[in-house]
Amino acid sequence: MIDRASVPRHVAVVMDGNGRWAQRQGLVRTEGHGAGERALLDTVYGALSVGLDVLTVYAFSTENWRRPVDEVRYLMNFNRGLLTRRQHELDDEGVRITFSGRRDWRVPKGVLKTMDQAEALTARNTTMTLNIAFNYGGRAEIVDAVQKLVEEKVPAKKIDEKAIRARLYHPEIPDPDLVVRTSGEYRISNFLLWEMAYSELVFSDVLWPDFRREDLFSAIEEYQQRERRFGGLDK
């Protein structure tokens, strides 16, 4: 059972295993991405029901451009379609949609436009933030922050953790308390490098398309068994 008194504020999820899910049932990889939509929506409803402030999901990494062009094209169209299909439903639930990642030339204009629309439509919602990491890389985020510091001519002596944090994609979002990765892979894959300095990590063998709110709840229960120390000795 989830202890309602110590629910994490921010959970971040590496939605992994779509390709393997599809291949296991004799489908093409992209059908696995398609099947991930249901998993995402169910996870969002689970997050709303336990009262998370923020759910961050890793949808496309700066390294995912290395995949075959057809798969990349599918993922761009799929993410755009998902936003178009779901933004009003998420808006009705009071979800604020935000994005973390690079808005560079590689992202098709139509996708950027739909992202802007979803962000604008939901900007005033306060029930929960769904932060979508899209064309996101943890190293790229730090590089972008350093570029901003240099552009703003911040003197070297003034550069501290606060100054860097203030230039990340969403400085207003608290660090994730819990990071979940699905599909039995035990790595970070360039996700939230700065932000997860003290996050608890939970790994699940479930392939993303099979992930449901109950899997989120069990990850939260595991989190609640952990003792967070932040380098000190007391909780």
Task: Tell me which residues touch ligand IPE (CB under 6 A).
Answer: 14-20, 58-61, 64, 75, 183, 185, 187, 189, 208
Query: From the CB of 55, what's the least distance to ligand IPE, in Å?
Result: 14
Comparing CB distances to ligand IPE, the nearer of 16 and 141 is 16
In the list Mg ion, ligand IPE, none, the entry touching 14 (Cβ below 5 to 8 angstroms by class) is ligand IPE
Could you confirm whether 16 is annotated as catalytic?
yes
**Total residues interacting with Mg ion, rule: CB under 5 A:** 1
Of the candidates 16, 79, 177, 215, the residue annotated as catalytic is 16
Q: Which of residues 6-35 bind Mg ion (CB under 5 A)?
A: 16
Q: Encoding tokens for residue 33?
A: 């991405």
Task: Tell me whether residue 135 is one of the annotated catalytic residues.
Answer: no
Least Å distance, CB 75 to ligand IPE, is 6
Q: Do residues 81 and 69 make contact, with C-beta atoms less than 8 angstroms apart?
A: no
Is residue 177 close enough to count as binding Mg ion by CB under 5 A?
A: no
Q: Active-site residue among 53, 64, 144, 210? A: 64
Least distance from Mg ion to the Cβ atom of residue 143, Å: 23
* CA-wise closest residue to 87 among 116, 55, 58, 59: 116
**Spatial distance between the Cα atoms of 115 and 109, rounded to a whole number of angstroms:** 10
Ordered DSSP codes for the chain: ---GGG--SEEEEE---HHHHHHHTT--HHHHHHHHHHHHHHHHHHHHHHT-SEEEEEEEETTGGGS-HHHHHHHHHHHHHHHHHHHHHHHHTTEEEEEES---TTS-HHHHHHHHHHHHHHTT--SEEEEEEEEE-HHHHHHHHHHHHHHTT--GGG--HHHHHTTSS-TTSPPPSEEEE-TT----TT-STTTTTT-EEEE--S-GGG--HHHHHHHHHHHHHS---TTSS--
The residue (of 67 and 170) whose beta carbon lies closer to ligand IPE is 67
Tell me which of Mg ion, ligand IPE, none is bound by residue 46, counting a contact when its beta carbon lies within the kind-specific cut-off of 5 to 8 angstroms: none
Q: Whose Cβ is closer to ligand IPE: residue 88's or residue 187's?
A: 187
Binding partner selected for residue 18 from ligand IPE, Mg ion, none, CB under the kind-specific 5 to 8 Å limit: ligand IPE
Task: Provide the minimum distance between the beta carbon of 182 and Mg ion in the complex, in angstroms, as a whole number.
Answer: 9
Using the minimum distance from each CB to Mg ion, give the nearer residue, 54 or 82: 82
Q: Which does 134 bind (CB under 5 to 8 A by kind): ligand IPE, Mg ion, none?
A: none
Smallest distance from Mg ion to CB 87, Å? 26
Element counts in the chain: helices (H) and strands (E): 7, 6
Catalytic sites, residue numbers: 16, 64
Interface contacts to Mg ion, rule CB under 5 A: 16
